[in-house]
Structure 1
Amino acid sequence: MATTLNAPAVSRGDAVALWLFMVAGIGIAVWAAWSAVARIIEVLPNRDVPVLAEFAGTTAEAPIGVDGAPIPVELDRAFITAPSLPVASLWALVLQQLVVVVAVVGVVVCLVWLARNVSRSIVFSRTNTVLVTTAGLTGLVGYFAVPFLGNMAANGAFAVLSERTFDNVILSVEPFPLILAAFVAALLGTVFAVGERLQRDAEGLV
C-alpha cells in the first residue's frame, strides 16, 4: 500500500520570511486598489483630464540651457491635459485602472496562497501548479492590456487637443521584458508541474 511522503518542515526563519512576503503582497494589492480608485475618481468628471502619452520623433523646448534658456529636446513620454475625452477614451482609461487592479490583485492572491501552502510544507501539488500558472498568465495579460488601454486614452486626448491634426498612434510594449516574463512564467509552471509529477511518482513507490 502506498504511503504519503511528508515534505520537510519549513524552518522558522523561512516561515517568517514567507509571512512577511504575504503581508507585503496584501499591502501591494491594497495600494493598487486605492490608486486605481483615486485615478477613476479623478477622470470620471471628464474635465481637464491628465493622460500619460508617448511620443515618437516629437521635439519640444525645455528650460535647461544657460540661465534657463530653452533647449530643444525629444519627447519620449509626458502628461497632457485634455479639456475632456471622447467617451470611448474615457472608458478606456477607467477600464485600464480596473485591469490594473484585477492583474495586481490576481497575481498577489495567487502568490500569497502559494506562500501559505509552502509555509505548511506543501510545495509541489496540483493547487500550487495552478496558482503559479494563473499568476503568470494574469501578469502577462495585464502587462499587455494596461499600455494598450492607456494608448487608446492618449489618442483620444491628442484628437481633442489637435482637432485630429496630430497623428501619434503608438502602442509601446517593451518586447524583451514581455518575452522574459513569459519565459519565467512558463519555466515556473513547468518546474511545479514536473515537481508535482515526481512527488506523485515517489509517493507511489513507497
Structure 2
Amino acid sequence: MALRMGRPSMAEAVALGLVATGAVSIGIAAIVGAVGAGVEIFGSPVAVDLPVHDAPIVGLSDAAGIAAAEYTQSVVSVEALSGGARWLLFAEAALPALATVIVCAALWWLGLSLIRQRAFRRSMVPTLATGAFALVVAGMVGPFLGGIGRAAVVEELSAGADTSQFWTFLVSADLAPIGWGIALALVATAFEVGQRLQRETEGLI
C-alpha cells in the first residue's frame, strides 16, 4: 500500500501537470522524428553521412592564419542500397527515439504519481530503471550499429568507385545519454530506498 500525503498545492499541481504534458509532447516528437528518419532511409535515393579523412579544404589551405583545414564527412546519396545497411542506419536513429519515448513515459508516470501523492508506488522503480537501461543501451548500441551501417555503405560503394578517403569503420559516440541513464538509475535507487522506508513506517503505524 502506498502512503498518501497531503494534497499538492495548486502551483505544484500545475507544475507537475506541465512536466507530464511536456514529457508526452517530447515522446510524440521523438516518434515523429523516427518515422521521418525511416521514410528517408528506406526511400530512394538515401543520403548517408560518411566520415572522410585526408580531404583538405582547398580554399582554406593557403589562407593566412590557417594551419590546416579538411572535411570530416561527406553526404553521399545512394540510389541502390542493401536492406541490411538501411536497417542498421535506421536502428541508429530509432534507438535514441525509443529511449526518449521510454524516459518520457517514465516522467509522465512520475508526474502523475506526484500529483496523486503516490510517488513511492511499486511500479515506479522498475519504470525508472527501464528508462535508465534504455538510455544506456541507446547511447552504446546505437552509434555502433550506425558505424556498421556506414561501413556497409562504403563497402558497397567500393565496387564501382574510389572509396579510399572514406573511413572503413568509425564510431562516434555521444556519452551524454549514458550519463543521463546512470543519473536516472540513481534516481530509481533513491525511490527504492524511499519505498523501503515507507514500508518500515507503515509497519510502525
- TM-score over 0.5 (shorter chain): yes
Are the equivalent residues in 2 in contact too, given 1:85–1:157 (CA < 8 A)?
A: yes
User: C-alpha displacement at 1:195, in angstroms?
Assistant: 0.6
Residue of structure 1 in register with 2:192 after alignment: 193
Runs of 4+ in 1 over 6 A off after TM superposition: none
SS at the partner of 1:121?
coil
- Which of the numbers 42, 45, 54 marks the counterpart of 1:48? 45
Deviations 1:128-169 (A, max 9, x none): 112111111111112222212222222123223344644431
**CA contact under 8 A between 1:110 and 1:131: conserved in structure 2?**
yes
Distance (Å, rounded) in 1 between the aligned partners of 2:8 and 2:51: 47
Mapped pair 1:94 → 2:80: no
Determine what percentage of the aligned residue pairs are the same residue.
26
Correspondences of 1:95-110 after superposition (within 5 Å): 95-110=91-106
Q: Residues 120-135 of structure 1: matches in 2 within 5 Å?
A: 120-135=116-131
Q: Is the 8 A contact 2:138 2:177 kept in 1?
A: no
TM-superposition CA deviations, 1:59-112 (whole Å, max 9, x none): 331645899xx9952444453333332331112123334334322212211211
Unaligned stretches of 5+ residues in structure 1 = none
The correspondence for 1:26, drawn from 24, 38, 45, is 24
Query: Alpha carbon RMSD of aligned pairs, Å?
Result: 2.9
* Distance in 1 between residues matched to 2:74 and 2:67, nearest whole Å: 17
Report the CA distance shift for 1:62/1:186 in structure 2 as closer, same or farther (over 3 A).
farther
Which residue of structure 1 lines up, in the alignment, with residue 114 of structure 2? 118
Name 2:138's counterpart in structure 1.
142
In the other structure, the counterpart of 1:180 is: 179
Query: CA separation in 2, counterparts of 1:205 and 1:88?
Result: 59
Measure, in 1, the Cα distance between the counterparts of 2:136 and 2:22.
Answer: 21
Specify which of 13, 35, 38 is matched with residue 37 of structure 1: 35
Answer whether contact 1:103 1:139 (CA < 8 A) is retained.
Answer: yes
2-structure distance, mates of 1:4, 1:85:
54
Paired with 1:119 and 1:54, the residues of 2 have a C-alpha distance of 48
Query: Larger % of strand: which?
Result: 1
Task: Give 1:23 deviation, angstroms.
Answer: 1.5
What is the distance in 2 between the residues matched to 1:106 and 1:182?
Answer: 12
